[in-house]
Amino acid sequence: MDMDKKTQEDIIKCSRCGLCADVCPVYKAKRTENTLLRGKFLQLLGLIRGDLKWSNAIKSSIAYCLGCEKCKTQCPSGVSVLEIFEKIKHENLTWFEKILYGKFIFKIKIFILKVFYGAKHPVKSILRGKKSHVQKMSKSVIHFNGCLSKCINPGFRLPFEFFEGDFECCGIPYKSKGNLDEYRAVALRNAQKIEKTDALIVFNCATCLSTVRLHEFNNPKTKDRLVFYTDLYKEFLKNNKLTSKRPLTVTFHYPCHLKSAGISLSDVEDILKSIENVAYKKLENPDECCGFGGDFFLCHPKTASFLSIQKIDDVIKTGADIVLTACPTCLWSLKYGLKARHIKNIKAYDMAEFLYSLDFHAS
Ligand code: SF4
Ligand code: SF4
């Protein structure tokens, strides 16, 4: 099997210490050696040495990963697992997979999701009407509306004036499947659009922000203009207050991609703690992956369901009325987990929707 030198060196970097076992959600769910990175890298070492041949078993082993990057922070050897897996998937894509993980089929999947998810889960928004006092920002703001957000969480609004952008998918569906040619093409077109304006680009999906930020990390013209809506709320709350009409207890599931996008949990917590009439309760493991990770829940429903229900058990322990999050697949997972556990007295909402539903006034 062809494998570039850098990928080989990255694989060899793994000392097989097994420290990632403490944090890897899929290993915690399965507890088998080939679900642990040590086992996966041993198989890849076998490929490098020529002892093993590329097979469906190795392919499934590296596909059994949520892309949560918990292992990255734990690994003493600095192994960047996503980069390695994406390159190996890319080098082994068959012509059929190139079509399956290409733009045309992705658009069909999104269309089907929109129709079926929309029919099964009509948007039960907590928003009532449009705020009459939408504020103007000193800088113009353009919204990057992700593909899944449009399907699962279409009601994104802010108490500030913003415009809808004309962006493509952030590219993660292609990147995570190893279709790096399509990913690079899409990412480049988005980057060119971002470069053409001097507006702030606001994201409401942690995964989109993380993916676009990764691509634009070294571009001085754009990297500081890619913001999450919580960054805008932080400014807004310097002169304004948010108030809930009724007393509420809320908790927050911290998406893996919000962390990799560089938005800290304390940034989110500061906003939630500042709301009048709202008590914030921290989850026991706020950053434990909810298990849905892209289409992982379709490929590995048992593991995804196990992790989603585990997350809901943590939510129940907080005594919260509402569990919030900031990524459409996480929101989907939370809703799934609540339904699976037959919990009716706790609601799951996107945090942007929740914040916009509150009253706001000058402080
Ligand atoms: S990215 Fe997440 S699921 Fe994948 S190996 Fe690392 S910790 Fe495990
Ligand atoms: S923590 Fe890093 S070095 Fe240790 S087994 Fe996991 S990937 Fe390999």
User: pLDDT, tens digit, for every residue of 134-174?
Assistant: 777 778 999 998 887 777 767 788 888 888 898 989 999 99
Query: Predicted confidence band at 267 (pLDDT cuts at 50, 70, 90)?
Result: very high
Question: What ligand is nearest to the CA atom of residue 10?
Answer: 2
Q: Is residue 320 part of a domain?
A: yes
Of 257, 267, 274, 351, which Cα lies nearest the Cα of 67? 257
The SS3 call for residue 51 is: coil
The residue out of 45, 62, 92 marking a domain boundary is 92
CA of residue 7 to ligand 2 center, whole Å: 15
For the record, the structure tokens of 336 come out as 């799934």
* 300 CB within 6 A, ligand 1: no
For ligand 1, atom 8, which residue shows the shortest CA distance?
24
Q: Is residue 272 part of a domain?
A: yes
* 65 CB within 6 A, ligand 1: yes
Q: Is residue 149 part of a domain?
A: no
Mean pLDDT of 208-220: 88
Domain that includes residue 76, residue range: 5-92
* 24 CB within 6 A, ligand 2: no
* 74 CB within 6 A, ligand 2: yes
What is the model's pLDDT at position 119? 60
Mean pLDDT of 298-323: 95
Residue 248: CATH number of its domain:
3.40.50.11810
For ligand 2, atom 6, which residue shows the shortest CA distance?
20
* 25 CB within 6 A, ligand 1: yes
Q: Is residue 144 part of a domain?
A: no
User: How many structural domains compose the chain?
Assistant: 2
Whether residue 181 is predicted with pLDDT greater than 60 in this model: the reply is yes
Neighbours of 104 (CB within 10 A): 9
Question: What ligand is nearest to the CA atom of residue 19?
Answer: 2
Question: What ligand is nearest to the CA atom of residue 15?
Answer: 2
Q: Highest-confidence range of 2-6, 161-165, 218-222, by mean pLDDT? A: 161-165
- How far apart CA 351 and CA 253 sit, in angstroms, is 10
Q: Is residue 195 part of a domain?
A: no
Query: Predicted confidence band at 127 (pLDDT cuts at 50, 70, 90)?
Result: low
Q: Is residue 128 part of a domain?
A: no
What are the CB-based long-range contacts (under 8 Å, 24+) for 190-197?
Answer: 190/215, 191/215, 191/216, 191/219, 191/222, 193/165, 193/166, 193/167, 194/222, 194/225, 194/226, 195/219, 195/221, 195/222, 197/140, 197/142
Q: Is residue 223 part of a domain?
A: no
Q: What pTM does this model have?
A: 0.91
Of 61, 58, 7, 11, which Cα lies nearest the Cα of 36? 61
* CA-based R_g, the chain, Å: 21
Per cent of the chain over pLDDT 70 is 94
Q: Mean pLDDT score of the chain, rounded to an integer?
A: 89
Across 161-165, 188-192, 261-265, least confident range: 161-165
Q: Is residue 44 part of a domain?
A: yes
* 75 CB within 6 A, ligand 2: yes
* 14 CB within 6 A, ligand 2: yes
**To the nearest 5 percent, what fractions of the chain are helix, strand and coil?**
50, 10, 35
Neighbours of 220 (CB within 10 A): 7
- How far apart CA 277 and CA 245 sit, in angstroms, is 7
Whether residue 334 is predicted with pLDDT greater than 70 in this model: the reply is yes
The residue out of 92, 116, 150 marking a domain boundary is 92
Mean pLDDT of 291-307: 88
The residue out of 92, 114, 149 marking a domain boundary is 92
